[in-house]
Structure 1
């Protein structure tokens, strides 16, 4: 019978957490020697970063004195501590005198402060690991994915806070120099797309591309081509961008093989029905070979986990970005098939939480997130079946959280007229930082492909 390996948790708890006693003293002493040294820290150091409680209290007093415009020296700090009845508990006059004598100069205060912050981060890591360990042992009812997501989220938050120094004020003169330089570059490049290009000229002209940090909703009734359009966006972002784009596709309705088949038909411009039946011409084989090579070299990653949760999706996106150094587009087909918290009161609340979380994901990873959405059946009863905002299923939260909302509408689905054949409208119903309006595209059904629309007057 195997024996359980004893855990060393008690031993670990008895160990002294990482700290830098001498660096803490050097920071305080340097500031007391030269109060202007405090400005070098630019708010990056806070009392909670100190391990020794007495040092944290003294630094708090230093910040309080500085905020009131009062002198910062041994006498004012002593007086302030006395009035707070904390002088003796922080070491008394003798300790303050020792601090001043601990460093000969204030020149290295910033360096010592960085050491103090680094030790604080290490203590935070230990705290997160301890919390995770406690939750696992206490069996709080969370599943493995939830435990992993919480741990990953908390550790990433520590890393982000450590890397993000508190910014000082930006002078308008500096901002104008930077802005003017950027305008000169844009003018020289004549660049119309500032985000991730959609690959459709008129759509890019209206949106300037898919902007990082945006939640983009693409909605339409069945058979309008939502999936085809979104997969075209994914292919264009990866294959036709200036730099090879890293794209994450989450398909909750179709398998990875089905998505790959659609992308291949689109890229090769081969009839999708021929791919299903295997009836290929020699020319088809040539096109398929070329297209499959391009797709094989692309950085499109497809996940077909059914009813994926936001936590699992977020974890996979974080990992993908970490492994590839960047992430350029996240696509979800579609939002109503995702699973939310089991404790949500109703499906509308569940979708609301999913929508809000996807917007948070877009901001966290600095990536455009495209989420497909269904529309209510009620629009089928109207004479004009072009979608409007109120047609979004569980629309309240989606409408609020989205930066861009696009509807796909093809009149030929309802009205079989020659002039409607292949004509698709992308209705931009909401764009937080741009105009709204319609863009015409051409839908080539047999290739599951959308293309730039060329009006009849300009045909060859």
Structure 2
């Protein structure tokens, strides 16, 4: 049996030091509690000292003996003569805090041993689901370490001195942001960079029901199956505000990169649909906004929704297992209201249905790359796309080669040289990617603390908030679940003292208004998210809603909430082919003498 760690000498010395110099109690009591002592007699003495201190009474052998007598514990500790023993065996009262830290460390070790026994018991119970076991184990472990995260009071003098130093440093470096630069000039000027311990929420246009009908055929490694037949029958789903439900699903489906695992099955419900037919006889039915990969007469690839297709378009199709070809679209017909479904495929984000290639953050990823370029350490938690897809987007940004060409591997010799050079450069970025689906806050916190300990963290990205879960809590109340998650993200930002940047979904109410610019009330479950966030930003692109827009490549970042500063609108340039955001070019034009 493992012997419990303790230090009798340190326990006696810390109590003796307080009896010699009662003023040292304040310093040690800030972190040491009665339950931290291994010997019960010492725990009783420390509890009595705490009670005296709370009543603002002096701590000395006489008052301590009286308090212990009142508690009925004086005889248990050995009576007043024991105090003389403690004082005589204390080397010096100057080291009271050091003695206290030794006692604290041994107490933590004992709690860890107890926690290990509890975790062992949890792991041995085969009747418990493994998800419950791992979550409970992490909770038990955090109960041991949570106490060390409590903050002590900071005097106004210390707080003002720290703030004065920050302002003085800012005055001396006028061109630098106070926080971590986003890489976007105008946004940094408005926000002052991303501030430590801030929770930033970024929300864009909601998905537009990109789903196919239930009879759509998908290729699995061992068979063909309809998409409807893949729906999990016993899994708990994550509802959205459009009547749809996400279900965790792991199965391999055919993609342009071969068989890849899915992350989610999405049940959209009844939707108006279109059916297309190609010259080669392939058909596909889906919602108006479901995109497929097309090619024009020059061989340029582009994603188009079913509603955008014309009879002049060519669909990219797969024949004989993995050969890509094109087939002209010969018919586009109304298909009525149908139950529709979708898959989220992290590695590649595209799947092949009825032989036609279907497609299912960019601002956050552009920001992550900008921050990583200056040497910052970035953690990315992505629950919607996988590490392969993130890397592909980063490579498109860094090389200037379209994602479609990278996805299909169609690179010219010059493009391949750029790709090789960029791959070496990007591999040195300190970006850490976790693509675990349906992550809960406890798991994320565990991974962040481990990453901070091993490498350090400067910024955390979460994509996206509504795809997280509460680890089994609030299963029947989505609003409370989102409240718990957003509060946990804010606590994570404060604990790590780094900005936490999370994507979030907008309510589809924005699609029903004439003015499509998002406002705070458009945040899904907005009450808790808006309350916890220090900054809320929205992305608006007029080109999505207005084909005749004068600025097809302009993207507006709307800062709708800024707890510690001004709000405003920042315009960026969006390269759709590379899914990349850049600073808009500003030119001074002299209108005089014209």
**TM-score calculated relative to the size of structure 2:** 0.67
1:417-438 Cα distance to aligned partner (Å, 9 max, x none): 3522211110111122221111
Given candidates 377, 396, 402, the residue that maps to 2:533 is 402
* Residue of structure 2 in register with 1:300 after alignment: 431
Q: 1:207, 1:434 within 8 Å by CA — same for their partners in 2?
A: yes
Q: Distance in 1 between matches of 2:569 and 2:128?
A: 49
Q: What's the C-alpha RMSD, in Å, of the aligned pairs?
A: 2.9
Q: Distance in 1 between matches of 2:138 and 2:58?
A: 44
* Residue of structure 1 in register with 2:155 after alignment: 170
* Residue of structure 2 in register with 1:8 after alignment: none
1:251-275 Cα distance to aligned partner (Å, 9 max, x none): 3333322222211111112233433
Q: What SS does structure 2 have at the residue aligned with 1:353? A: helix
* Residue of structure 2 in register with 1:221 after alignment: 205
* Residue of structure 2 in register with 1:7 after alignment: none
* Residue of structure 2 in register with 1:254 after alignment: 385
* Residue of structure 2 in register with 1:56 after alignment: 43
Tell whether 2:113 aligns with 1:113. Answer: no
Q: 1:274 to 1:157 in 2, by over 3 A?
A: same
Given candidates 69, 73, 76, the residue that maps to 1:86 is 73
Tell whether 2:122 aligns with 1:135. Answer: yes
Q: 1:43, 1:166 within 8 Å by CA — same for their partners in 2?
A: no
1:304-332 Cα distance to aligned partner (Å, 9 max, x none): 333333343333333333331x1122222
Given candidates 95, 104, 111, the residue that maps to 1:124 is 111
Q: Distance in 1 between matches of 2:24 and 2:523?
A: 56
Shift of 1:191: 4.8
Tell whether 2:376 aligns with 1:236. Answer: no
**Which has the larger share of helix?**
1
Tell whether 2:159 aligns with 1:29. Answer: no
Q: What SS does structure 2 have at the residue aligned with 1:446? A: coil
Tell whether 2:520 aligns with 1:356. Answer: no
Equivalent residues in 2 for 1:67-106, closer than 5 Å: 67-103=54-90, 105-106=92-93
Structure 1: runs of 5 or more not aligned: 1-10
1:155-202 Cα distance to aligned partner (Å, 9 max, x none): 45645645x697465262x54444333322221122542222110001
Q: 1:237, 1:328 within 8 Å by CA — same for their partners in 2?
A: no
Q: 1:328, 1:367 within 8 Å by CA — same for their partners in 2?
A: yes
Shift of 1:38: 3.0
Shift of 1:372: 1.6
Q: 1:44, 1:165 within 8 Å by CA — same for their partners in 2?
A: no
* Residue of structure 2 in register with 1:3 after alignment: none
Q: 1:102 to 1:345 in 2, by over 3 A?
A: same
Structure 2: runs of 5 or more not aligned: 209-360
1:46-88 Cα distance to aligned partner (Å, 9 max, x none): 3222222222222222333344443332222223333333322
State which drifts further: 263-272 or 193-202. Answer: 263-272
Q: Distance in 1 between matches of 2:561 and 2:438?
A: 27
Q: 1:42, 1:167 within 8 Å by CA — same for their partners in 2?
A: no
Q: 1:192, 1:204 within 8 Å by CA — same for their partners in 2?
A: no
Q: 1:359, 1:402 within 8 Å by CA — same for their partners in 2?
A: yes
Given candidates 323, 328, 335, the residue that maps to 2:458 is 328
Q: Distance in 1 between matches of 2:22 and 2:387?
A: 62
Q: 1:255 to 1:168 in 2, by over 3 A?
A: closer
**TM-score calculated relative to the size of structure 1:** 0.85
Equivalent residues in 2 for 1:171-210, closer than 5 Å: 172=157, 174-210=158-194
Shift of 1:342: 4.3
Q: 1:149, 1:315 within 8 Å by CA — same for their partners in 2?
A: no
Q: Distance in 1 between matches of 2:438 and 2:73?
A: 57
Tell whether 2:556 aligns with 1:425. Answer: yes
Q: What SS does structure 1 have at the residue aligned with 2:537? A: strand
Q: Distance in 1 between matches of 2:207 and 2:153?
A: 52
Total equivalences in the alignment: 437
Shift of 1:415: 1.3
Q: 1:422, 1:444 within 8 Å by CA — same for their partners in 2?
A: yes
Q: Distance in 2 between matches of 1:40 and 1:400?
A: 36
Q: What SS does structure 2 have at the residue aligned with 1:92? A: coil
Q: 2:206, 2:508 within 8 Å by CA — same for their partners in 1?
A: no
Q: Larger RCO: Structure 1 or Structure 2 (Cα < 8 Å, ≥ 6 residues apart)?
A: 1
Q: 1:212, 1:366 within 8 Å by CA — same for their partners in 2?
A: yes
* Residue of structure 2 in register with 1:5 after alignment: none
